Amino acid sequence: MRRLLTLALGIAAMLGSVASADPGERVSTLADQRAVGITIYNENLALVRDRRHVVLPRGESQLALRDVSARMQPETALLQSLGSGRLSVLEQNFDYDLLSPQKLLEKYVGRDVNVTRTNPQTGERHTERARVLATNNGVVLRYADRIETQVFGVLSFPELPPDLRDRPTLVTDLSTTTDGAQDVELTYLSGGLSWKADYTALLAPNDDRIDLRGMITLQNQSGTTYRDAAVQLVAGDVNVARDQLKVFGAMSVSRAPTPVPQPAEEALFEYHLYTLQRHTTVADNQTKQVELLTAPDVQVVKTLELRGSPYYYSSANADLGTRLKVATYVSFRNQGGDLGIPLPKGTVRVYKRDSIGTAQFVGSDNIDHTPKGETIRLHLGDSFDVTANKKQTDFKVLGPGTWESAYEIVLHNAKKTPETVLVVEPIPGDWTMLSSSADYKKTSSSTTTWSMRVPAEGSTTLTYRVRVHW
């Protein structure tokens, strides 16, 4: 730690010259930025559009664009002039080896530095020249008459290595046909930026409606800040060829003339694009939330469901469980009112107010990208008061691959109000229902569903017999 601190003192005076490692290099900083836009995908990927005002001479020159993303994929970078002149990129280098005391030492292996020591009694300073031999697990210095493995003093460096910078920088060798000021736009793909949707739903007292709110959570770990950025979000599973990422043309950055409370949504290829109508600053290492939607008074249906398994239809299993869990679901249609827009995937957290009006958390579930008009079904947990006992009352082998079995399911309800439980049985193979104590519905080729009314503080029994052939 002491060595790093002394190195830091040694390089502090050099920071003023960091911006331009090459005297002939023209440097563009965030002060030159005219607009920035980012399109963020779900897969920790973003398209950055950085527009800057620069002054370039006619002919060949070198331009260093500072404060680009440290997670830039340099093979995707595209720089173009927005003026009438022609700009050609002859060569570009992405310098992301950032300045630090350790990095500076590493760059000086095999080169000479000055070591200055101060006499604590007299204050007299003495400077010696030494060559840096190694920096692995400490520094090794060769003086004129000795080799030392520790630094007692301050290291001074004659210059900053040209490939070491204090900010991520894209250095380009350019050829332009015009002379003077012009706007350029740098477009590139970057990692370190991601987004997700988070939803909160407040259940009504009768569990028949919710107030739904959606928030977009942005995360920036790209190594730079995007100030007053136009932000767009792509919902959908975009395929990315990891070794062949390309950018085919630059996208313009436009400002929304009038702020509106919710993002604008539109179809984009086979995906959906959300545009935030307010520009926002997304700082490095920041998590930011912006509103996606507010949909009050959304009608929902709460269901209790007991789901079986297919394994016991082809083998003898007497006791299939006591106090079996009955799952709780809440579902609603993505249509009408303030809904009816494609909803990006995310987590829905559901709350309900208790007897004194305090909102309590009652469960959460993840949803996938949901188109307009589709049903969203949330599994919130298991019922405490509604349980089931299940047993196999008969089992017969009728022949090769043919079985007949009978079952009894007893549903218990400890609540003071009646409940309806959906009993869902996945029955394998080619099956025939031989008898049932309640009406059933064949909801698919391999699924049967009973809707069972269970009285308050009471129980209901379902029995059925089925033949299965494989």
Full pLDDT tens readout for the chain, 470 residues: 344 334 443 444 344 344 444 557 899 999 999 999 999 998 789 999 999 999 999 999 999 999 999 999 999 999 999 988 889 999 998 876 677 788 888 889 999 999 999 988 888 999 999 999 998 888 999 999 999 988 888 999 988 787 777 788 899 999 998 889 999 999 999 999 999 999 999 999 999 999 999 999 999 999 999 999 999 999 876 776 655 433 333 333 333 333 334 666 666 666 788 888 889 999 999 999 988 889 999 999 999 999 999 999 999 998 898 999 999 999 999 998 788 888 999 999 999 999 999 999 999 999 998 988 999 999 999 999 999 999 999 999 999 999 999 999 999 999 999 999 999 999 999 999 999 999 999 999 999 999 999 999 999 999 999 999 98
Q: Which two tokens stand for residue 267?
A: 């179809």
For residue 406, the model assigns a pLDDT of 97
Which tokens sit at 359? 């909102």
CB burial readout 154-163, b (16+ within 10 A) else e = bbbbeebbee
375-399/430-436 β-pairing: unpaired
> Phi, psi at residue 296, to the nearest 5°?
-80, 155
The Cα 7–Cα 105 span in angstroms is 9
**What structural domains and CATH numbers belong to the chain?**
2-190 (no CATH), 300-334+375-469 (2.60.40)
- 253-282 burial by CB neighbour count: b if 16+ within 10 A, else e? beeeeeeeebbebeeeeebbbbbbbebeeb
Q: What is the DSSP string of 211-249?
A: EEEEEEEEEE-SSS-EEEEEEEEEES-----TT-----S
| pLDDT reported for residue 120 | 87
pLDDT at 105: 87
Per-residue model confidence (pLDDT) at position 23: 54
Q: Residue 42's pLDDT is what?
A: 81
User: Which one-letter amino acid corresponds to residue 288?
Assistant: K
pTM of the model: 0.71
**Residue 329's beta-bridge partner residues?**
303, 379
pLDDT of residue 241: 65
* Contact partners, residue 315, CB within 8 Å, separation at least 6: 395
Q: From CA 102, how far away is CA 292, in angstroms rounded?
A: 44
Query: Side by side, which strands form the sheet with 125-134?
Result: 147-148, 140-142, 125-134, 112-118, 154-156
pLDDT at residue 248 in the model = 31
Helix (H) or strand (E) holding 11: helix 2-12
